[in-house]
Amino acid sequence: MILEQLDIRGLSRRRLLGAVLMCAGAAATACGGRARSSGDPPAVANGRRFLVLSADDLVTLAAFAEAVLPAPGLGPSYVETDILRRLDEEMFFVEAAVRADLDAALSLLEWYPLVSGHVHRFSHLKATGRTALIERMLSSRFDIPRAIANSLRFMVHFLHYAHPATWAMTDFDGPFSRLAPQLSEQRLRYLELTKAVS
Amino acid sequence: MSGRIFEFSDMQHSQAVETDVCVIGSGCGGATVAKRLVDFGHDVVILERGGYYPTRSFDQDELNMNAKLSDNRSLKTASDGATVLLSGHNVGGASVHYWADSYRTPTDRLELWRDRYGVRGHGLGDLQPAWDEIEQALHIHPAEDQYFNRMNELVRDGSAKLQWSGSRVPQARHNCQKSGHCMQGCVFEAKKSQLVTHIPQAIAGGARIYADVRADQLSISNGSVSSLQATVMDRPSARPSARQLTVQAKAFVVAAGGYNSAAFLMRNGLQSQLPQLGRSFGFNPSPMVHGLYREDIVLWRNIPAAYGVDHFRLARYSADGGYLEGGYLLMPNQLQPGLLAASIPLLGDEHARWMRAMRRIGSTIGWIDDHPDELGHIALNDDGTSKVIYPYGPTTQSMLRDLIKKQVLLHRACGAAEILVAGGGAMRFRSEADLKAIDSIDVRAGGLLMGSPHPSGGCAMGPGPVNSVVDSTHRVHGLANLFVSDSSVFPTAVSVDPSLTIMGFSYVAARHIHDMLA
C-alpha cells in the first residue's frame, strides 16, 4: 500500500528504488527476515557456480518464472529451458548498470508484497498469488512496479521461448539451415568459469 | 596493398599505429567513410569495440546471435525502463542484424534540415551520385513478389482496403534464400550488410581494422587531435584488458553510432564547449501490435518488410498546430520465437495459448518519426557508460496512440480474430469501444514495449557551436581534424529507415576529410 500512495513522478528512478528498498528492509526486519544485498555472492547449484545471480536471486526468479509461464503439463518448465542459467550468463556480459537494475528489480519484487498488503515475501506466495500480484504490478499506475514486472516478464519469456525445448509446443520448425551451434568465445568462457566442481 | 582485421587474440601487447585517418566504429557510417577514404588513396585504421564475427560464425540461433551482434544483448533500455535500445556490437555494426530496408532520404527531410537547421551540402544533388553508386554496389531494389510472406501480403491488401498508400520496400539484398534470419545475421551473405560490402572493400584497399578495441581518450591540443588512446577488450570476458592501442593520425572520424558517438565525445570532456552534445536525440520508438489469425502466417520466414505503408509518414496538424494524425511508417513485423513471446503481454496459460498458435500470429510495427520539439538526450552514468533519456512528450504520445490505432485497424482489415498491443498490461481489441480505449493508453514505463532501432542526433549538424556539434563538413566545431560520420549528425530523425542516409552522408564526410588531408 505504501507504494500505491507514493507519487513517484517527482522522484528519480534510483531514489524511488532506494526509498522502496528501505521500506522493504524495515518490513523484512519486522518479519524476522533478512533484506537481500547486492553484495551477496553468486550462487552454487548442482555443483556449478553462477557468476552473477545469488541464491536469493535464483529463488525470486524461479518463483517469477513459475508464475508467468504455463502451468505444468501445458509446456516445458523454466528448469527445462534453463532460464536461470542463461540469464546469469547474459548478465555476466552486459554493462554493470544493467546488472544493477536487475539486482534492484529482484529486491523490490521480493519485498513488494510486504508493502502492498501481503504478509509473505514474493517467493513465499502461492503461485496464484504471485500471478495476481504480477498482474497488479503490470497494470499499476506507478512506473516502477510496472516497469519491473514488465522487464522481468520480457526476459523470462525471451529466454524461455528461444530455447529448443519449447519448439514442439509452438510448432516452430527451428533455424532455417539447421546449422550446428557456433559457440562464441563468451559462451565458451562462461561454460569454463561455471563448470562443475568436484 | 591489402589490409586485414586484427582481433583481441592478435594483440598480445600494447602497441602504437600511425595512419592518415582513424575511424571509430565500423557500421554504415564508419565502414562507408573508411571505404571512400581508401578509394581516395588514404591509409585508414578502423577501431571497432565489438567483436569480429565472420559469416562462418553465424548459426541462426536466436540467443547465440543476439549475444554476438547486439550491444548489451538487447537487454539495455532507455531511462523509462521499457524502450529496448537496439544497436550493433560487432564489425559491420547494426547493419549485420538490420532488415536491409534502404530508403533514400525524403526530399522534404533534406529541405527541413537545410531550412530549419542550416545544414548545407547535403541536398538531393549532393547525395544522388552517392546513392546511385551505393544502390548498385549493395543491390538495392524494390522487393519482388516472391519475397512477400503472408504477413506482407496481408499488410499490402489490408492497407489497400483502407485506402492507405504504400510501396515495396527497397532492399539491400541479392539472391535472398528467405530464411527469415535477417536479425541473426545472414549466413548466405545475401543481405548486403557492411560486413560483406564496404568492410571487405576497405580492407582490399589497405584498411586495417582493429576489432575488440574501445576508443577512450583523445589527445587534444591547439584545436586539433593528435592521437587516440584505446583499450583492447578481452572478448571472451567482455572486460577491458591491460593492453593499449595508441593511434596517431592526421584525422579522426567518430562513427560509433547514434547511441555511442555523443557519449564518446562527452567522455572526452567536450560538452563544455559544445552545449548541444548529446542533445536532439531521437530513436524511432516502435510500438508493435499482434494479431491472431485463422490461417498460418509463419512470421519468421522470408524477408521482414517487403511492403511498407508510407501513407502516414508525415504528421498532419490542424491550422492551430494541434496534432491530427500520422508521423510514422507502418510495416509488417518479423520476430523469431523468443522476441515474439517477450512482446506478448500475457501471462501463464493465456500466454501459452498464443504461443501454441504461433504459426497463426501476425504482427505489425511502426517507426515513430521523433517529433523535433520533443527529442531526448544522451547522458553519462558514473562509470562512463551512456544512458538515454527520452521524454515521450505530448505530441509523441499522440503519435504513438495514433500508430497503435492504425495498426489495430490494419489487423482488423486483414481479418485478425484477436488483437493485442505489445506492452506490459494486456490491451486487447474486439470492438469499437476498445478502439476508443487507445486514446487513453498511458505511454509510460512498462505500459508499452517498444524497440528503438534507429538512433539519430546527439552530434547534430548545423552552422555554429551554440546550436549544433558538427558543421556541414562533418567537422566538430572548434576542432580542426575531428569529424563525425554516422546517424548522430542528423538534426532530427530521417522519417524512414536511415541506413542509406547514413551512407550518403558518409560519402559527403569522406570528401571533406579528403579535402582537408589534401
- All cell numbers assigned to B310: 508510407
Which chain B residue's Cα is nearest to A184? B68
CB under 8 Å to B127, separation ≥6 — which residues?
B104, B105, B110, B504, B505, B507, B508
- All cell numbers assigned to A39: 553484495
- Cβ <8 Å between B338 and A159: yes
Q: Does A136 touch chain B (CB under 8 A)?
A: no
| CB-CB contact of B80 with B390 (8 Å) | yes
Q: What's the one-letter identity of residue B297?
A: I
| CB-CB contact of B345 with B420 (8 Å) | yes
Q: Does B192 touch chain A (CB under 8 A)?
A: no
The minimal CB distance from B60 to the residues A101, A141, A176 is found for A176
Residue B504: helix, strand or coil by DSSP?
A: helix
How far away is chain A from the Cα of B236, in angstroms, using its nearest Cα? 4
- All cell numbers assigned to B282: 531521437
Which chain A residue's Cα is nearest to B82? A147
- Measured between beta carbons, the chain A residues lying within 8 angstroms of B446 are 138, 143, 146-151
Task: Give CA–CA dist A191/A86, Å, rounded.
Answer: 11
pLDDT at res. B447: 77
- Cβ <8 Å between B359 and A171: yes
- Cβ <8 Å between A151 and B345: no
Count Cα neighbours of A159 within 13 Å in the Cβ-side half-sphere.
26
Q: Does B267 touch chain A (CB under 8 A)?
A: no
The minimal CB distance from A158 to the residues B342, B348, B425 is found for B342
- Cβ <8 Å between A184 and B238: no
- Measured between beta carbons, the chain B residues lying within 8 angstroms of A160 are 338, 341
Count Cα neighbours of B457 within 13 Å in the Cβ-side half-sphere.
29
- Cβ <8 Å between B340 and A13: no
* pTM of this prediction exceeds 0.90: yes
Beta strands in chain A (DSSP E): 42-45, 48-54
The minimal CB distance from A162 to the residues B58, B62, B79 is found for B62
pLDDT at res. A178: 94
Q: Does A189 touch chain B (CB under 8 A)?
A: yes
pLDDT at res. A47: 82
Q: Does A183 touch chain B (CB under 8 A)?
A: yes
Residue-level pLDDT, tens digit, chain B, 518 residues: 689 999 999 999 999 999 999 999 999 999 999 999 999 999 999 999 999 999 999 999 999 999 999 999 999 999 877 799 999 999 999 999 999 999 999 999 999 999 999 999 999 999 999 999 999 999 999 999 999 999 999 999 999 999 999 999 999 999 999 999 999 999 999 999 999 999 999 999 999 999 999 999 999 999 999 999 999 999 999 999 999 999 999 999 999 999 999 999 999 999 999 999 999 999 999 999 999 999 999 999 999 999 999 999 999 999 999 999 999 999 999 999 999 999 999 999 999 999 999 999 999 999 999 999 999 999 999 999 999 999 999 999 999 999 999 999 999 999 999 999 987 676 888 777 888 888 887 777 677 888 999 999 999 999 999 999 999 999 999 999 999 999 999 999 999 999 999 999 999 999 999 999 99
Which chain B residue's Cα is nearest to A95? B72
| Nearest residue to B104 via CA among B134, B123, B131, B142 | B131
Task: Give CA–CA dist B192/B153, Å, rounded.
Answer: 24
Task: Give CA–CA dist A160/A28, Å, rounded.
Answer: 31
- Cβ-in-10-Å burial (0-12, 13-18, 19+) of B107 comes to exposed
- Cβ-in-10-Å burial (0-12, 13-18, 19+) of A138 comes to buried
Cα Rg of chain A (Å, integer): 18
Around Cβ B411, how many Cβ atoms within 10 Å? 26
DSSP string, B49-93: SSB---GGG----HHHHHHHHBGGGG--B-TTS-EEE--B-BTTG
Task: Give CA–CA dist B475/B455, Å, rounded.
Answer: 20
| CB-CB contact of A137 with A145 (8 Å) | yes
- Measured between beta carbons, the chain B residues lying within 8 angstroms of A147 are 80-82, 424, 445-446
Task: Give CA–CA dist B308/B458, Å, rounded.
Answer: 28
Number of H helices and E strands in chain A, helices first, is: 9, 2
Distances (CA, A) of A159 to A63, B329, B338: 16, 29, 6
Distances (CA, A) of B83 to A134, B94, B187, B340, B349: 20, 17, 29, 15, 26
Task: Give CA–CA dist B198/B196, Å, rounded.
Answer: 7
Q: Does A35 touch chain B (CB under 8 A)?
A: no
Task: Give CA–CA dist B425/B346, Å, rounded.
Answer: 7
How far away is chain B from the Cα of A185, in angstroms, using its nearest Cα? 5
Paired with B282 in beta bridges are B456
Task: Give CA–CA dist B464/B458, Å, rounded.
Answer: 15
Which chain A residue's Cα is nearest to B61? A175
DSSP string, B272-284: TT-TTTT-SBB--
Q: Residues for chain A: how many in total?
A: 198
- Cβ <8 Å between B64 and A170: no
Q: Taken in order A64, A67, A68, A71, is the CA torsion positive or negative?
A: positive
The minimal CB distance from A70 to the residues B51, B336, B348 is found for B348
Beta strands in B369-464 (DSSP E): 377-380, 386-389, 418-421, 427-428, 450-452
Which of the four pLDDT bands, split at 50, 70 and 90, describes residue A12?
Answer: very low
| Nearest residue to B139 via CA among B63, B207, B190, B199 | B190
- Cβ <8 Å between B341 and A167: no
- Measured between beta carbons, the chain A residues lying within 8 angstroms of B73 are 90, 93-94
Q: How does pLDDT run across A135-177, given as a tens digit for each residue?
A: 999 988 888 898 899 999 999 999 999 999 999 999 999 999 9
Chosen from A91, A155, A186, A192 to mutate, greatest number of chain B CBs within 10 A: A186
Q: What is the DSSP letter of B101?
A: B
